[in-house]
Copies of this chain bind each other. A is one copy, B any other.
């Protein structure tokens, strides 16, 4: 095993609160404990293709712990194996730039590469190691908390916090006005944010991708509440939630413009619910405020620990792994096991069962049972 003197670090995919905590911890422990040089690679893998880098020193990571975003920039594009090259005539073509990445890795004098990102980014890291022998350590990132093999990912606590605060605010105005409030939160494949914030914020209905919904039990819940004297209801919708009914398609694509968008589902649901219940419905689409801003303490701690332990993996030469939270400990997990598998909400699990015990409706209930249960 060769000595480690210089490491590169990049962030890929969507941003998540806690990315800067990872970068800071990695950089501080690398410099303070091991006297390494740390090279920051800008805008994900594209910075390795285009050689956009800058050395990270202690002063560069000072004060970034409470900051959202990533000081390295990030992008959803930039897969070096399918790199979009812009030609001088303005056209584009897709090339395999992974060889360039390998060359640049060597040219920069890097001894290891720390790749912080989601499923896709980690898979690219793994491929760079397998095909080009680049020593890679991964740090998992997904605000949706849907990555297999780690108990939690950073960013999730912040997103749940933002959504819960929104629910608290909606509660008071819903109550005063006898209204139905629809809150759309993130979660394309997995409903973790909707489920956690829905429980924390006392939602009456939670619609998640893992449990396709019908309108009937939702409407039954609103009626049941009204019969009991609660003339308002709070509905949390994950952006990826969808109806199980063939006859009425609720989805998050604008039927006119074809523009896929946040809010698509909610703005379809709202008028229908208004029609069928007679209550006014109001929609809030949190969008990117869920993934921006100062990270929750938990996300800062998890990011910090991921950064420290990623460096430890590098120093021990345990490449091809990513760090992961397992109970109270940060452990190493092979990248091969972590990618291409989603961690979804278990509709039969304890967390959903707890919510159901409180009367929360997920949309798969028998409407009569909902009416009776209140």
Contacts and interface: CB of A to CB of B under 8 A. Distances in A.
A212 interface: no
A304 B358 contact: yes
Interface in A58-78: 58-59, 62-63, 65-70, 73-75
Contact of A284 (B199, B285, B297): B285
A357 B33 contact: yes
Interface in A312-350: 327-330, 350
Interface in A140-172: 151, 157, 160-162, 164-166, 168-172
Given A69-B175, A172-B68, A350-B329, A28 B359 contact: yes
Interface in A161-191: 161-162, 164-166, 168-178, 181
Interface stretch (A89-97, A98-106, A109-117, A251-259): A251-259
A217 to B, nearest CB: 15
B287 A58 contact: no
A297 B354 CA distance: 16
A282 B293 contact: no
B257 A170 contact: no
Nearest to A14: B177
Nearest to A58: B228
Interface residues of A, number: 98
Interface in A223-256: 228-230, 254-256
A304 B267 contact: no
A310 to B, nearest CB: 11
Contacts of A161: 296-297
Task: Enumerate the 10 nearest inter-chain pairs by beta-carbon distance, A residue then B residue, closest first.
Answer: A169-B293, A68-B172, A169-B292, A69-B172, A69-B176, A173-B292, A284-B287, A200-B297, A29-B357, A169-B289
Given A66-B168, A169-B293, A171-B292, 18 more contacts: A15-B177, A25-B358, A62-B230, A63-B171, A65-B200, A67-B172, A73-B176, A169-B289, A181-B288, A200-B297, A200-B304, A256-B256, A283-B287, A284-B286, A284-B288, A298-B298, A308-B357, A309-B350
